[in-house]
Amino acid sequence: MHSSLKIGRIFGIDVGIHWSWAFIFLIVTWSFAEGVFARYYPQWTTGQLWIGGAFVALIFFVSILLHELSHAVVSNRSGLPVKEITLFVFGGVSNLTREPDSGGIEFKIAIVGPLTSLALAALFAAAWYAIRPVNAGIAGICANLALINAALAVFNMLPGFPLDGGRVFRSIVWSRNHDRLRATHAAARLGEWIAYGMVGLGVIETLLGGYVGGIWLVIIGFFLRGASASSYEQVLVESTLSRVTVSDIMRRDVDVVPPDLSVDQLVHDHILRTSARCFVVMAAGDLAGLVTLNDVRHIPRDQWPLTSAYRAMTPANKLHTVSPDESVTKVLQLMAMNDVNQLPVVRGRELLGMVTRADIMRFIRVRQDLGEEAAEATLPGHHDDARPRADQPPGVPLSR
C-alpha cells in the first residue's frame, strides 16, 4: 500500500500505518478528552484532558497492533506467511500472501485476534482493580482501556466479512459446503446488513444526543459496508481469474496505424469508423507507441492535420507492457497502479496483442453468468481441462 508509512519490524513482519490513522488518532483522543475525561475529571485543564486522550489513543494503537500481530503469528505458523501489517482505520490489514486453503486454518487465524483483545481487556481490568485504591485517575484510564479492548473483541467478532467474526462465520460455512466463494458471499452479505444496522443505530443515538457514540457507529458502519462489498468482489475476481493468463484474454486483432498518419486522419478514418479507442503505432515492424483517444484530446483541434500519430502517441519506452504468460490478476493490479485501461502484450520486441480492462471485466461477467461451476473450475485444485482455452481467432498481421 502506497498510502502507508512503515514504522518498524516485529517478528520479521513489517508494520505500517495507513494515513487514515492520523484521523483515528485524533478522533480517539477527542473522544476520550471531551467525551470521557471531561465528564469524570472536571477539575482537569484542557491540556490535561488532551494529554490523557492522546495517551489512551497511543495504548489503543498498541492494543490493535497486538491484535493484528496475533493474526500474523498464527498465520505464519499455519504456513501462510504474512510479510507486513498495515494498521488501517479500526484494525489492520494483515497482508496475507494468499487465502487460506481450508476453513479450519482460517478459523484459527481469525479467532486468535479477538481472543488477544479479550486477554488485553482482562489485563487492564486486573490493573484497574489493583491500582484503584492507589490512584483513581490511572485506574480510570485502565478501566477505559479494558473497555476498549473488550469492545474491540466484541466488534471484531460481529459475524460480517471481512471482520474476524465474519471470517469465523465464513470458515464454518466453508467447512460445511466446501465452497469458498458461496461462503464468502454469505459472510459478506451478513457484513453489509450489520453495517446498515450500525449506521441506523448511530443515527438514532446522534438524534438522541449521544454525538460521540453515534458518530463512531456511523463511521464504523460505513467503513464496514465498503469493506464487506469490496472484499467479496476481490475474492470473486481472484477466484474467477485465478490461473487465467493474458494470452487467454488478450485481443490479437489490434488496430495498427502508421507513424506518419495525421491526427486528423486518425480521428476521421479510424476513431470515428471503429469502436477502438486505442491504436498501435508501428514503425518498421516494431512497436513505436500507443495513441489513445485521451492523447488526441490533449491536442488542439486546429493542430490535428499538422500533428502525426507519432507525435501524439505515448512512446513504447514509456509504456508498461505485459508478457502473454502474466496472470490477469497481476495485470489488473498493474492497470490500477498506473491508471491505464489497456496494456500492450509483448514478447521481447514483438507485439502480440492488447489486453484491456473492458475485456477483463467482460470475461469476469461471462464467467459469472456461466455460473458457479465455471467460476469454480478456475479454482486451484481442479483439473486442468477446466482451464479456458485460448480459442480466439488467430491475430491479423500487425502491419496493414
The stretch among 27-35, 109-117, 169-177, 223-231 that binds Zn ion (CB under 5 A) is 109-117
* Position 166 contacts Zn ion (CB under 5 A): no
- 162 sits near Zn ion (criterion: CB under 5 A): no
Q: Which helix (H) or strand (E) holds 117?
A: helix 103-131
Q: Judged by CB, which is closer to Zn ion: 191, or 289?
A: 191
106 binds Zn ion (CB under 5 A): no
| Contact pattern from residue 350 through residue 379 relative to Zn ion, giving x for each residue in contact according to CB under 5 A and a dash for the rest | ------------------------------
Count of C-beta atoms within a 10 Å radius of residue 300: 7
Residue number, 156 or 228, with CB nearest to Zn ion: 156
Residue 218 neighbours by CB under 8 Å, 6+ apart? 198, 199, 202, 203, 206
94: nearest Cα among 174, 27, 11: 11
Among the listed ranges 35-43, 135-143, 156-164, 170-178, the one in contact with Zn ion (CB under 5 A) is 156-164
Q: Is 255 in the site for Zn ion (CB under 5 A)?
A: no
Q: Among the candidate windows 41-49, 127-135, 148-156, 174-182, which touches Zn ion by CB under 5 A?
A: 148-156
Residue 248 sits in the site that holds Zn ion (CB under 5 A): no
For residue 269, give the 3-state DSSP assignment.
Answer: helix
Cα atoms found within 13 Å of the Cα of residue 77, Cβ hemisphere only = 9
The C-alpha angle with vertex 330 and arms to 326 and 331, in degrees rounded to 5, equals 80
Residue 347 near residue 324, CB atoms below 8 Å: yes
The three-class DSSP label of residue 327 is strand
- Provide the CA 22 distance to its chain's centre, in angstroms: 19
Give CA–CA dist 267/303, Å, rounded.
12
Task: Identify which range of 39-47, 57-65, 150-158, 208-216 contacts Zn ion by CB under 5 A.
Answer: 150-158
Number of residues lying near Zn ion (CB under 5 A): 3
Kindly indicate which of the ranges 54-62, 158-166, 328-336, 390-398 contains the residues binding Zn ion, using the contact rule CB under 5 A.
Answer: 158-166
Least distance from Zn ion to the Cβ atom of residue 49, Å: 30
Q: Is 160 near Zn ion (CB under 5 A)?
A: no
Which CB atom, from 62 or from 337, has the smaller least distance to Zn ion? 62
Residues in touch with Zn ion (CB under 5 A): 113, 156, 164
